[in-house]
Structure 1
């Protein structure tokens, strides 16, 4: 029910508004505080009820009432006054009001009266409104199909007004409105809101004689209705949506033939509505299918996170651009773009931040390149771009540098200040590839070269890259079979005590005797093994071979101190300690014969899992050593929380220790702090006697390097020990 408030007191007006809108089916559609505005607003908005303050200033509440009645408004008016003046009340009733409200008293009776004017609500109202919505007929344009049915009803009955109404939540809306200019009215004044509760035709011969409609605004005001006859429009599923009705301004009755005719016409209206409903359902189903197909196509061609084209689209577009360039004699550039250290962002800040990071990358790449260029996401942190109509290969390199600058601009995600570095590889048609497939492969190889060069750079493809790639592929294939072919062998390098003759320990180093390439150092194949997931198998092979060699020496009477083997960061997982235990005891040895070396990067990586694996190994009696200390990003503060026994000082700090005061101070500081934490130190890469003397003076526990001995095959170890023993006393440690 639409309520208009005429009240000059802001306080009273606010209280009334709050009380009215607390009612579920009421709403305030406007207010006025003086006569002129009240009259114009009421006539324009045509409310169901007016709450009228008689003591209005400026102006007069009585004048408002008189003027709206003279203009044809039939709105129900409840007069609000403090006055008990009967003459004033009689004057208002003579003009036309629906009741009085005492402003100083309880307004409960006033609201009860307003609620009594509301038409009843069907029991299935929610279901009925849903069915009405499903027809899609509300607020549609004029429709001749419905107008023609209403016209027949008007002609058959002789009534001046014929309507096809739909009863919405708070209004009645007309599919057809012959003889009535309005397209809708409030539901609270709708005769049809009562008719939808009937099972058949509802006829009101004289509205002034019917309690339900006597003071209805459409009866008391324009169009001053007196007669109504309506048949509910009931769907096959049982919901009454509205009515087909005829209305007149004089009392009357339909004869039996007219009643039958209007019922028949109502069934025709329902049939038309059902048809429209089925057509709409079919159209919606078609739309859903089209949307689903579009969604499937989008998923098939677009990256779901960034919305960029995917690998399939990239390949198709590149093939098209290559074809066009071949016809025009032009140049097309293909770029592979790989983000540097993105995994660190994902692992430390979480996948939500990582996803936002990738969306920033997508936006910056797209906004930096031309509209004719294509940017695609290939997956993970890999992107690609196609640049048609390049004037030269050099221009493509300039664009790549522009992309690097755009990506490098810092940005904020949440509370994190971040920047993006990337490695870009470029291959241009026709000089660096004559097909889409070749261009993409060559751009990928060039990107890998940028990555190998430290990242944050762009590199053009060269023929040498493909040669190296072919060699790497062959290496990959051969490494998979290297263990079975017994091509992985061990060499052992001794560790001594600075200024002394003792042998403090040994390190086992793996080599690959490749049948074609000769002896390969670990840096040629260990990264490949980690990338391919073979490092676990190789690591177990190295440990098992080392333990077997220790047992062989023991049986031969050659007592070897503890031997250290290297562990890859990817091996530091739960279950490692039990695996190594099984190998040690299978050779009849004990954990004190084996030391395990890890790198600094392993320590600063996955902290919790690494700490657990190292703790388990230490508890079982294995010595844990940190290799290449000083080359990474850890600190002794980090190391003190882990069960570490030895620090191996990186060769980069030892190289100039004999003539650089800074390096001497650095190495001395590492030795002192390690000793304070209860750790031993081993200096790596010692090649000169001068270096050994400095290390002895600084108190380094042991050293390793060519000065003492190069890595040697197992067969040479006994002879080396014998020679060293002959030169002076040897302690096996």
Structure 2
């Protein structure tokens, strides 16, 4: 029995209620009432499921109670069993008309009475369970409806004939059909699909899902045309719906509008393959175009040229005028070069101020020369930006397939090497890659590997060239010079690896190692009782590193070398490249007590303002002037002027490259007291200098 079922007995005879309470106690919760006038209020409070009601009662009879109950909102939830001692058919009809569903005759047969009430309790329990199930089903249905109405995907369900019985709001919006208008129509009438490229009609995947009784994905590149003619790119799938017997009873279609996603993908693809500043193809797309061009050239047995173009001295323009003007200039150059992008020619921006042209041509190179000249002429055409006129020049390197390269990587590498050579020859020049360049490239690669290995293993050697008093021949200091030793034990010229180190960024590691090795040697001389100042060259690149001052300070602290025994040599180009930062760093270095020498004075951007603004201690006369001063009056005048200038500014003067006695004597006569060169001593390792 259902212990939660409530049974309410209304009978004016107490014996009857007691007997009924006893036999029905296991049927549920039982409450009885002998005063019919109080019955209705008790019913409102107790809210029974089953009422056992005596018809003949004083005060208020059973019919009156039935009439009152019919007015209650919960009347339809009640199961009312009438007790009567009459067998009059009219009484039964009246009771049934008022809502009674069963009768128990007096005198009471308690067994029969219990069985009847049990049946009604069971019926009521089943009714309650059915109501709960219906309520749960309705709740789940409503939840499902809200979910389907709220999701971003379109949902359409059909019967097993592909006729629509449901569409959520998204599906209605995308198809342009309301649910009312679409209901009962075949899905292909409502959902018009076609191939986005060809425009041909596409089979709806829901129809295929029903035909093949399996899930079906929508074809790629599918387009949906709404009832109003609006098109959407769509994707997703359809699947059959099966009943409890695994029989097909319909299908569901789930799809989404991917128009914005597709547009975004196209935009992202464009951005990933094009330079944002010039809108030209970038390095990624250049690689792809080169690959395709090589394939076509190989098939047609023609040639293919790759021209790499780099603007001359663009860095100085960029630094002087600002990056915003530099960007405008790059955009102008890109627009100018884009005019050549026709007849299978690809124009790309590789990066920075570097551009590329991929040029297919016949088996000869005759048609490439005029194009190169046209490109250089376009670059050299004067133009105005920010109310200033600019005239540019460029260096071009050319690699030719299949003459010197067989792959994209080789063409890029060879064109870059040729451009590098052109850049070191003259402005507005071009150079083809050749065997000589191949050898130079191989040598450059060898030197690069050798340098990296030496830096990794800390095996760079430092030689020391003495600086001597020209009158007494006494050593007053040394200049440290780095040496790279190859696999055969031979010295590699600094001209070969210093430029490489600066271009690749290895100059920072190289400079740090040379500085430390030099300070270690200077400390050994100090500890041996013969203190000598050591001059260490600092490249312009190192001054671009904000941590240079910290590096110098930490190296002195690490090696325990007093700062007065260290001199840093800088070139005039270092002063120019990072003017403000260089001034700040030199002042900090000078405050440490470190001497600062200006190397190769007179060969670069010589200006008296440098000597006034920078905390310099030493001027070094470049060896080119020393070499020519005995035969060239202009060179002699320059040397004389530098010596007098140094005296006036109270700066030390050091002459470089002294190789003859005549040069030494002339310098002495001019008032130069200190010099260095092969006549006075060649660069040697520490061990040999130590023995001296």
Give TM-score, length-normalised by structure 2: 0.60
1:670 pairs, out of 634, 638, 642, with: 642
Secondary structure of the 1:304 match is coil
The residue that corresponds to 1:349 in the other structure is 321
Residue by residue over 1:675-716, the C-alpha shift from the partner in whole angstroms, topping out at 9 and shown as x without a partner, is 222222111111112212221122223111111111112122
Distance 1:408 1:383 in 2: 15
Distance change (3 Å), C-alpha of 1:696 and 1:277: farther
2:368 pairs, out of 396, 403, 411, with: 396
Distance 2:634 2:328 in 1: 44
Q: Is the 8 A contact 2:345 2:358 kept in 1?
A: yes
**Deviation of the 1:374 alpha carbon:** 1.2
**Deviation of the 1:601 alpha carbon:** 0.6
Distance 1:483 1:326 in 2: 43
**Deviation of the 1:615 alpha carbon:** 0.2
Q: Which moved more, 1:282-291 or 1:695-704?
A: 282-291
Residue by residue over 1:254-287, the C-alpha shift from the partner in whole angstroms, topping out at 9 and shown as x without a partner, is xxxxxxxxxxxxxxxxxxxxx9899589999766
Distance 1:474 1:545 in 2: 24
**Deviation of the 1:514 alpha carbon:** 1.9
**Deviation of the 1:288 alpha carbon:** 4.0
Secondary structure of the 1:640 match is helix
Q: Which has the higher contact order (CA 8 A, sep 6+)?
A: 1
2:534 pairs, out of 529, 539, 563, with: 563
Distance change (3 Å), C-alpha of 1:315 and 1:574: closer
Distance 1:324 1:393 in 2: 17
Q: Is the 8 A contact 1:401 1:458 kept in 2?
A: no
Q: How does 1:214-225 map to 2 (within 5 A)?
A: none
Secondary structure of the 2:556 match is helix
Secondary structure of the 1:355 match is helix
Does residue 628 in structure 1 map to residue 603 in structure 2? no
The residue that corresponds to 2:302 in the other structure is 330
Residue by residue over 1:182-218, the C-alpha shift from the partner in whole angstroms, topping out at 9 and shown as x without a partner, is xxxxxxxxxxxxxxxxxxxxxxxxxxxxxxxxxxxxx
2:392 pairs, out of 406, 411, 420, with: 420
Distance 1:326 1:555 in 2: 70
Distance 2:537 2:606 in 1: 18
The residue that corresponds to 1:528 in the other structure is 500
Distance change (3 Å), C-alpha of 1:567 and 1:461: same
**Deviation of the 1:593 alpha carbon:** 0.6
Q: How does 1:2-41 map to 2 (within 5 A)?
A: none
The residue that corresponds to 2:445 in the other structure is 473
Distance 1:718 1:294 in 2: 70
The residue that corresponds to 1:550 in the other structure is 522
Distance change (3 Å), C-alpha of 1:581 and 1:658: same
Structure 2: gaps (5+ residues): 1-176, 178-225, 235-255
**Deviation of the 1:513 alpha carbon:** 1.5
Larger Rg: 2
Distance 1:480 1:441 in 2: 20
Distance change (3 Å), C-alpha of 1:699 and 1:277: farther
Q: Is the 8 A contact 2:380 2:393 kept in 1?
A: yes
Distance change (3 Å), C-alpha of 1:502 and 1:694: same
Q: How many residues matched? A: 446
Distance 2:388 2:541 in 1: 28
**Deviation of the 1:452 alpha carbon:** 3.2
Distance 2:257 2:314 in 1: 43
Structure 1: gaps (5+ residues): 1-144, 146-274, 721-733
Q: Is the 8 A contact 2:620 2:653 kept in 1?
A: yes
Does residue 358 in structure 1 map to residue 320 in structure 2? no
Secondary structure of the 1:393 match is coil
Secondary structure of the 1:523 match is helix
Secondary structure of the 1:715 match is helix
Q: Is the 8 A contact 2:471 2:673 kept in 1?
A: no
The residue that corresponds to 1:643 in the other structure is 615
Distance change (3 Å), C-alpha of 1:301 and 1:637: same
1:590 pairs, out of 562, 567, 583, with: 562
Q: Is the 8 A contact 2:655 2:675 kept in 1?
A: yes
**Deviation of the 1:555 alpha carbon:** 3.1
Q: How does 1:9-408 map to 2 (within 5 A)?
A: 288-368=260-340, 370-390=342-362, 392-408=364-380
Distance 1:582 1:323 in 2: 56
Distance change (3 Å), C-alpha of 1:390 and 1:648: farther
The residue that corresponds to 1:509 in the other structure is 481
Q: Is the 8 A contact 2:394 2:427 kept in 1?
A: yes
Q: Is the 8 A contact 2:232 2:259 kept in 1?
A: no
Distance change (3 Å), C-alpha of 1:714 and 1:431: same
Secondary structure of the 1:297 match is helix
**Deviation of the 1:526 alpha carbon:** 2.1
1:448 pairs, out of 392, 397, 420, with: 420
Q: Is the 8 A contact 1:623 1:644 kept in 2?
A: yes
Distance change (3 Å), C-alpha of 1:391 and 1:686: same
Distance 2:231 2:368 in 1: 53
Does residue 604 in structure 1 map to residue 555 in structure 2? no
The CA RMSD measured in Å over matched residues stands at: 2.6
Q: Is the 8 A contact 1:353 1:413 kept in 2?
A: yes
Distance 2:363 2:649 in 1: 63
Q: Is the 8 A contact 1:499 1:693 kept in 2?
A: no
**Deviation of the 1:319 alpha carbon:** 2.6
Residue by residue over 1:554-594, the C-alpha shift from the partner in whole angstroms, topping out at 9 and shown as x without a partner, is 3333x143110111223224443343233224333311111
Residue by residue over 1:519-562, the C-alpha shift from the partner in whole angstroms, topping out at 9 and shown as x without a partner, is 112222222222333322222222222222122223333x1431
Secondary structure of the 2:310 match is strand
Does residue 716 in structure 1 map to residue 684 in structure 2? no
Distance 2:456 2:404 in 1: 39
**Deviation of the 1:458 alpha carbon:** 0.7
Distance 2:448 2:503 in 1: 10
**Deviation of the 1:394 alpha carbon:** 4.4
